[in-house]
Amino acid sequence: MQVLYGRHHVRVYRFGLRLVRDEQTAEDLISEVFLDVWRQAGKFEGRSAVSTWLLAITRFKALSALRRRKDFELDDEAANAIEDQSDDPETVVQKKDTSEALRECLTGLSADHREIVDLVYYHEKSVEEVAEIVGIPENTVKTRLFYARKKLAELLKAAGVERGWP
Amino acid sequence: MMALSKKMLEQEPSEIEMLLPWHAAGTLNARDARRVEEALASDPELAKQYAVIRGEYEETIHLNESLGAPSARAMQKLFAAIDAEPARTTGALPLSARVATFFSSLSPRTLAWSASLGAIALLLQAGIIGAVLMKTQTATFQTASLSTGTPVTRELGIAAPSRALVRFSPEARVADITALLDSYQASIIGDAKGGMFRLQFDKAMSQEELTALLGRMQREKFVNLAVAAP
């Protein structure tokens, strides 16, 4: 378990943190995820990579944590604040740095879009693996990422950032 | 910006366009990767879009890497919870699943090293057997029961990976330990007993090499003690 934890805990933490946007909650998540792994090791069928299995559990735990937070702690106004903690487009454009603006806009994506962008680009998951983690058909995975990138383009355009294409 | 032309924003994307992000991440199968490569070579607009996707890919990695790592609190909480769990029977996981789990947990580089070492071991073994046979073979007929009187011994040529016992300093965070293990290409393979962890290095070393490496490890900021495992 120590070896498994050592190899995967940072990526599990980062995936969880991008979903729940709270370091304390993300740290609690990784304890819960690896405890589940400890308890359910017998259910792992070896048909997918361990990291895919771990990310699927993390996603489930993160969504449960978000639901609890919304149910018990936040009103709608506060929930909306969580949905968009990034700077508004005007603030982003002031930063002038395209890379920084891009990172700000990546942060400003919806949870569904953030999740799919991270899984494909950072966690380097294939179409099939993303479908398994998120629980959606493979074609939906492809179109969801396309529309996530489309939304990203809109956010950057609103921020006045031009990267020369289109 | 973004890899989305006006035409694309108005129309459904093509299959190849939708595969570009996976091509950037290197996670397409060989067939799809070839299809994308061919399309990129013949379509300048698609190539332009791909360049923008590469930018998104790099910034997403940069963003995630900037998130840092969890504190040691998470690990302490986890292992305290595991300690509180009722004792488990060993062998609950089927053999096939355990083997799959083991190989899945290896990095591609480790896997490649292991495969290379295995291949070298097989070649050495084949060479030794061949040499022994050549040495004992004569031009005349020999019965299968003929004994040369000399026992045939074999060596695998590849020794077991070196191991060590290490005690980390109390202020070491999980991220520090992980970085240290990566830099020494080592893994924790045993429980902490008396605060000592049993490590295994990715390769076998001579006694001198191991002593030198442990001396270097001993001087690391987050290591209190590093000794060869008995």
Answer whether B3 sits within 8 Å of A165, measured CB to CB. yes
pLDDT bracket for residue A77 (50, 70, 90): very low
Q: Could you tell me the fold of the domain covering A1-83?
A: Rna Polymerase Sigma Factor; Chain: A (1.10.1740)
pLDDT, greater one: A42 or B71: B71
Q: Is the pLDDT of residue A85 over 80?
A: no
- Which residues of chain A lie closer than 8 angstroms to B79, CB-CB? 1
Residues of chain A found within 8 Å of residue B13, distances taken between Cβ atoms: 143, 146
**3 state SS of B199:** strand
pLDDT at A117 over 90: yes
Quote ipTM for the complex: 0.80
Contact B82 A156 (CB under 8 A): no
In a 13 Å sphere around the CA of B15, the CA atoms on its Cβ side amount to: 7
Q: How far apart are CA A62 and CA A54, in angstroms?
A: 12
Task: Report the chain B residue with the minimal C-alpha distance to residue A15.
Answer: B64
Tell how strand B163-168 and strand B196-201 pair up. antiparallel
Asked if B52 contacts A150 with a C-beta cutoff of 8 angstroms, the reply is no
Domain residue spans of chain A:
1-83, 87-160
Task: Report chain B residues whose CB lies below 8 A from the CB of A103.
Answer: 59, 62-63
Degrees, nearest 5: CA angle B153-B155-B160: 145
Closest alpha carbon within chain A to B187: A3
Question: Mean of the per-residue pLDDT values for chain A?
Answer: 82
Chain B residue with minimum CA distance to A38 = B82
pLDDT at residue A143 tops 90: yes
Give the per-residue pLDDT at A76: 47
**Where does residue A158 fall: left (phi above 0), alpha (psi -120 to 50 degrees), or beta otherwise?**
alpha
Give contacts of A 45-64 with B, CB under 8 A.
45-47, 49-51
The CATH code for residues A87-160 is: 1.10.10.10
Check whether A126 has a pLDDT greater than 90: yes
- Higher pLDDT: A43 or B7? It is A43
Range of weakest confidence among A7-11, A77-81, A114-118: A77-81
Ordered alpha helix ranges (H), B26-107: 30-42, 44-65, 72-84, 95-105
A147–chain B Cβ distance below 8 A for any pair: no
* Dihedral angle sign, alpha carbons of residues B133, B134, B138, B140: positive
Q: Which residues of chain B have pLDDT under 70?
A: 1-11, 87-119, 121, 132-159, 191-195
Secondary structure class of B3 (helix, strand, coil): coil
Q: Look at B63 and A45 and tell me if their CB atoms are within 8 Å.
A: no
Residues 6+ apart with CB under 8 A from B16: B35, B36, B39, B46
Q: Which pTM was predicted?
A: 0.57
Banded model confidence at residue A160, pLDDT cuts 50, 70, 90:
confident
Residue, of B4 and A43, whose pLDDT is higher: A43
Closest CB from B22, B59, B178 relative to A6? B178
Which residues, in sequence order, are bridge partners of residue B199? B164, B188
Specify the pairing of strand B163-168 against strand B186-193.
unpaired
CA distance B129 to chain A (A): 37
Q: In what order do the strands lie in the sheet with B186-193?
A: B186-193, B196-201, B163-168, B223-228
Q: Nearest CA to CA, how far is B143 from chain A (Å)?
A: 50
Measured over the CA atoms of residue B99, residue B102, residue B104 and residue B106, the dihedral's sign is negative
